[in-house]
Structure 1
Amino acid sequence: MDPSDLTPLTDRARRLADAAHDGRRRVLGIAGAPGAGKSTLAAEIVERLDGRAVLVPMDGFHLAGAELDRLGRADRKGAPDTFDAAGYVALLRRLCHPGETDPVYAPVFDRALEEPVAGSVRVDPDLPLVVTEGNYLLLDDGSWAQVRGLLDEAWFLDPEPETRVRRLVDRHVRFGKSRPHAESWVARSDEPNARLVESGMHRADLVVRLGHHDLGAP
């Protein structure tokens, strides 16, 4: 694939939207390690589909900070057990079969607040495609193991490791961490999570490798 051309990916997503019928919405999942550029790619694909798709991020199912403190997991925020995986699965099941006449609302994660915000994404019942992205879509463990079966297609975004880590550190700095703290957090927390995420790459339908500067980590 030409690393500067997202047309093949857009066309592939459009074919999924075209295949929606008989009350069965299609769901495209984009997985990858922290900093891979998943949210940027997913947002670009949705924008190119001109109102036929909506983005529902996995990160909306982060546990709230107060709950992470109560559980003693705040220093591991971003690990698989710091999300409501069962809640995410329940939402995906609801989105797969839009039998309701009312819209479904999904949460997002607000990086400025560092908290999930409920009811942020509206999914209308006649929308043919949901694009969802996140670290653990292909993880074969606990409630996460149910996610893959709810995706009509799964992509794994796999940039060069050096590029991904640089983006990730820059993102943490942009949202308030000092650079030394950001580098320490990435090494201690994000990179062990990345190894876990990469263990599910073989479960993807497509591995996407783009160029050095195509996607950032917003």
Structure 2
Amino acid sequence: MAQFAALVARARALADGPRRLLGIVGPPGAGKSTLAARIVAELGPQAVLVPMDGFHLAEAELRRLGRHARKGAIDTFDADGYVALLRRLRGPGAETVYAPEFRREIEEPVAGAIPVPASVPLVVTEGNYLLVPEHPWGRVRELLDEAWYLDVDEGLRLRRLTARHIAYGREPAAAAARARGVDQVNAELIAATAPRCDLVVRLDAPLTA
């Protein structure tokens, strides 16, 4: 809890002033969605959560491109659209900016689902590829005021990820194969980007949503 309190204090300091963007990065199953949601809940009206997952390509487009089996890989997201949204969120203006949200129950992104009022001083965004240096992802890091990399025990991460896939309807063997196959390729790419962060977060105990 002391670790988490320190993270909340750091995020609160970012929210003390003009609009800032905080990115939380980590491989699949690291717990970044939970951490980001908890941080935003603690800050209340000072923060809004805008996940990168809202920029998943639609199911039909993934099938058209032949990438559906690799959903979640770096080339299955609209990176340019994500960068454009972050630029809007950083820019001055009195209007509310609307961000998309990924809905697990339909496995599709939904446009305009997350309102970000101009009065909110901190936008927290979380996702896998925020620290990737290659174009066009490299522009994401330039737009973040801080980036935190969430590092967890590899065995725990794989167990979490396998359980998640089972919860989404995969058989246990298929869930384990996905976690150690396609997801592991993504995890290794993400881990290589950790040196580009401002803070490595290693929590002694997992957070709950």
TM-score scaled by structure 1? Answer: 0.93
Alignment of 1:107 with 2:105, yes or no, is no
CA distance in 1, matches of 2:136, 2:207: 29
Q: Which runs of 5+ in 1 are unaligned?
A: none
Question: What is the CA distance between 1:4 and its match in structure 2?
Answer: 5.9
CA distance in 2, matches of 1:202, 1:163: 22
1:104-146 deviation digits (Å, cap 9, x = unpaired): 1101111121111111110001110000000000011121110
Question: What is the CA distance between 1:5 and its match in structure 2?
Answer: 3.7
Question: Contact 2:67–2:76 (CA<8 Å) still a contact in 1?
Answer: yes
Alignment of 1:215 with 2:201, yes or no, is no
Question: What is the CA distance between 1:98 and its match in structure 2?
Answer: 3.4
* Greater shift in the superposed pair: 107-116 or 159-168: 107-116
Residue equivalent to 2:194: 201
* Greater shift in the superposed pair: 174-183 or 197-206: 174-183
The 5 Å alignment of 1:1-218 reads 5-20=3-18, 25-99=19-93, 101-211=94-204, 213-215=205-207
**CA distance 1:4–1:113, change in 2 (3 Å):** farther
CA RMSD of superposed structures (Å): 1.2
Question: What is the CA distance between 1:215 and its match in structure 2?
Answer: 3.1
Q: Percent identity?
A: 57
* Greater shift in the superposed pair: 70-79 or 106-115: 106-115
SS class of match (1:105): strand
Question: What is the CA distance between 1:19 and its match in structure 2?
Answer: 3.1
SS class of match (2:45): coil
**Which runs of 4 or more aligned residues in structure 1 lie more than 3 Å from their structure 2 counterparts after TM superposition?**
none
CA distance in 2, matches of 1:98, 1:198: 33
1:78-116 deviation digits (Å, cap 9, x = unpaired): 1110000000000000001131x3211101111121111
Q: Which runs of 5+ in 2 are unaligned?
A: none
CA distance in 2, matches of 1:142, 1:195: 18
Question: Contact 1:4–1:210 (CA<8 Å) still a contact in 2?
Answer: no
Question: What is the CA distance between 1:181 and its match in structure 2?
Answer: 1.0
Question: Contact 2:27–2:190 (CA<8 Å) still a contact in 1?
Answer: yes
